Amino acid sequence: MTDRYLSDRIRNRLRVTWNVFFRKWGKLTDVQINTIPFVIKKKNAIIISSTASGKTEAVLAPLCELLREERWDPISILYITPTRALVNDIYERICEALLSIAIKTEKKTGDSPYLNWKKPPDILITTPESLDSMICRHPHELNSVRAVVIDELHILDGNYRGDQLRVLLKRLEKIVPNFQIYGLSATISDPHAVAARYIPDCNVVQVGGSRQIIPSCAASLVNVFEMIRKENLKKILIFCNSRRKTEEVALQAKQLWGRNIVVVHHGSLHRNEREESEKVMKTQSRAVCVATMTLEIGIDIGSIDAVVLAEIPHTVSSFIQRIGRAGRRSGVIRIFCVSDPEEWDLYNIMITAARDNLLDHKEYKPDISVGIQQIFSLLFAHPTGIKIAELRSLLTDLCSSTDLEEYILPHLSQLEWIELYDNKAFATEKLMNLGQKGKIHSNIPDTRAFSVKNSITHKLIGEVELPETVKKQTAFVLSGKVWEIVKVEKRTIYVKPSPGKGVPASFKRIYDYGAFYYLLPEIFQNN
């Protein structure tokens, strides 16, 4: 059967949702043609396809069709993403359009915690951490879930957030069995292995990209600027590996392109700052954004003419994610790689791998400390206690029964977080108090970061780790701007714009292990 024939059959099947999701495009992409039949038949799937190939629509359109046809109850679709920014982006993309067919969409994150449980939405977009909170505090409101979509699965898999989600899916299954799961990603090297961790009885849909890659290497950003100017490229996305490097490159980019052209995007900037940068990239005809991996994922920032790699990405997967942001309309991925000439061969290897879809293999190892976080979450949700056998069943993917029963549980009991008797575990008052404060739902390690606030506008700019900076200097760079320190009160640094020079701020560390690592028995802390 031809793609045209299959597309026509799908169009006839999506009687309600075709116009909402596909009318403006007029046709389906390859990944949509291959994915939609699985979703309509309610079969689990992991979908691997290039950035901007339409994976979200490939899953949501048929799910919404089923929702309307079968009159699913509220909160029938959970859409899980790794970041709050992507939650906001997906929400903005689908909310208004779906209202036209009487489907209500809402979001729930740490930034948007409120949800009217008396009038819940049909689709709820959230993060793993907010899902943990809901399973603890509102489990009965999730008993209508029919499908779970996990977006950008590669970002979650292989770390403590993915391990938490694995247990949460098991916990959700005890509330409402037999829901479908769909995982979406552009860069997963072994989809069968990843699917085995999250998605039972999974079908694999893997569609290769077809966009042409045109690369150029240069020794400096100045050289790149000259090439971009000659080609009259107007919308540029520059990627760096660290937040500090992002601020350094942003200063240089402003000297080349102009102060009002360049914006910055990274995880230590306040949400309003990031959203303003996204708005500039969407709405301005000429703009440059310097970013970390926060813009690797599918946040809508409009059409990008070219991607500049100011540093060599750490992995081929990251390389593919970054360059995939360019050429969505033209079909041509224009990239510029900045490095010393002796490193150009490494870029060529990555480019070849991207063209051949050769992704680097990531060795999976569970974060056993997530087991502690889930024990806390489970016991807080069940004040009357949980049987040890049930804990063992839920945590079997993270730790062995021996590790759990001979080491972890006795250790937590000794620290007075839990009590053990009659083959059950119970939360202590200390643990229940921690849960009441909402401190048990996230494995993301906390940091001693300072909030940075503009003393003139009173707007938050971001957060930094600045104890040494406060002592040694009065100006630093954040969001591509130089700020002079006015005063420091508790954990807030008040600043004002400075015409002088400053150095990039120090940012919070990113840890490879979960927030509850410190509560592990010593025998596990060095493994």
- How does DSSP assign 360-426, residue by residue? PP------THHHHHHHHHHHHH-TT-EEHHHHHHHTTTTS-HHIIIIIIHHHHHHTTSEEEETTEEE
Identify whether the C-beta of residue 476 lies closer than 8 Å to the C-beta of residue 504. yes
- Does the structure show a pLDDT above 80 at 173? yes
Q: What is the pLDDT of residue 141?
A: 95
CA angle 185, 96, 459 (to 5 degrees): 80
Q: What is the pLDDT of residue 285?
A: 92
Residue 72 gets which letter from DSSP? P
Pick from 72, 107, 73: which is nearest to 93 by CA?
107
pTM above 0.85, yes or no: yes
Residue intervals in the chain for CATH 1.10.10: 369-443+514-525
Identify whether the C-beta of residue 219 lies closer than 8 Å to the C-beta of residue 340. yes
- Does the structure show a pLDDT above 90 at 8? no
Residue 426 CA, distance from chain mean position: 33
Q: What is the pLDDT of residue 460?
A: 93
Pick from 33, 43, 127, 122: which is nearest to 81 by CA?
127
Of all residues in the chain, what percent carry a pLDDT higher than 70?
96
Span 315-328, mean pLDDT? Answer: 85
Q: Are strands 503-504 and 475-478 parallel, antiparallel or unpaired?
A: parallel
CA separation for the pair 146, 389 (Å, rounded): 27
Higher pLDDT: 272 or 505? It is: 272
Pick from 426, 450, 442, 431: which is nearest to 506 by CA?
450
User: Quick one: tokens of 495?
Assistant: 């600043």
Q: What is the pLDDT of residue 508?
A: 66
CA separation for the pair 149, 135 (Å, rounded): 16
Indicate the CATH number of 212-355 among 1.20.1260.10, 3.40.50.300, 1.10.357.10, 1.10.150.240.
3.40.50.300
Count of all residues that appear for the chain in the document: 527
Q: What is the pLDDT of residue 168?
A: 98
Q: What is the pLDDT of residue 288?
A: 97
CA separation for the pair 454, 130 (Å, rounded): 30
- Does the structure show a pLDDT above 80 at 75? yes
- Positive or negative, the CA dihedral 210, 211, 216, 220 is negative
Span 77-94, mean pLDDT? Answer: 93
- Does the structure show a pLDDT above 80 at 14? yes
Q: What is the pLDDT of residue 467?
A: 55
The one-letter amino acid code at 225 reads F
Per CATH, the number for 3-207 is: 3.40.50.300
Per CATH, the number for 369-443+514-525 is: 1.10.10
Q: Are strands 45-49 and 203-207 parallel, antiparallel or unpaired?
A: parallel
The one-letter amino acid code at 112 reads S
CA separation for the pair 80, 151 (Å, rounded): 6
Q: Residue 70: is it exposed, middle or buried by C-beta count within 10 angstroms (0-12/13-18/19+)?
A: exposed
Q: What is the pLDDT of residue 490?
A: 82
- Does the structure show a pLDDT above 70 at 471? no
* CA-based R_g, the chain, Å: 24
Q: What is the pLDDT of residue 503?
A: 78
Span 390-397, mean pLDDT? Answer: 96
Residue intervals in the chain for CATH 3.40.50.300: 3-207, 212-355
- Does the structure show a pLDDT above 80 at 2? no
Choose the weakest-confidence range: 180-189, 441-450, 508-517.
508-517
- Does the structure show a pLDDT above 90 at 159? yes
CA separation for the pair 394, 378 (Å, rounded): 10
Identify whether the C-beta of residue 462 lies closer than 8 Å to the C-beta of residue 157. no
Summarised one tens digit per residue, pLDDT across range 426-447 is 999 999 999 999 999 999 987 7
The DSSP bridge partners found for residue 215 are 335
Q: Which own/partner contact pairs does 364-367 have at CB distance under 8 Å and 24+ positions apart?
A: 364/157, 364/158, 364/193, 364/197, 365/158, 366/163, 366/397, 366/398, 366/399, 367/159, 367/160, 367/163, 367/398, 367/443, 367/513, 367/514, 367/517
Q: Which own/partner contact pairs does 107-110 have at CB distance under 8 Å and 24+ positions apart?
A: 108/134, 109/84, 110/84
Q: What is the pLDDT of residue 378?
A: 98
| Alpha-carbon distance values, 395 to 49, 71, 336, 518 (Å) | 31, 35, 45, 19
The DSSP bridge partners found for residue 107 are 125
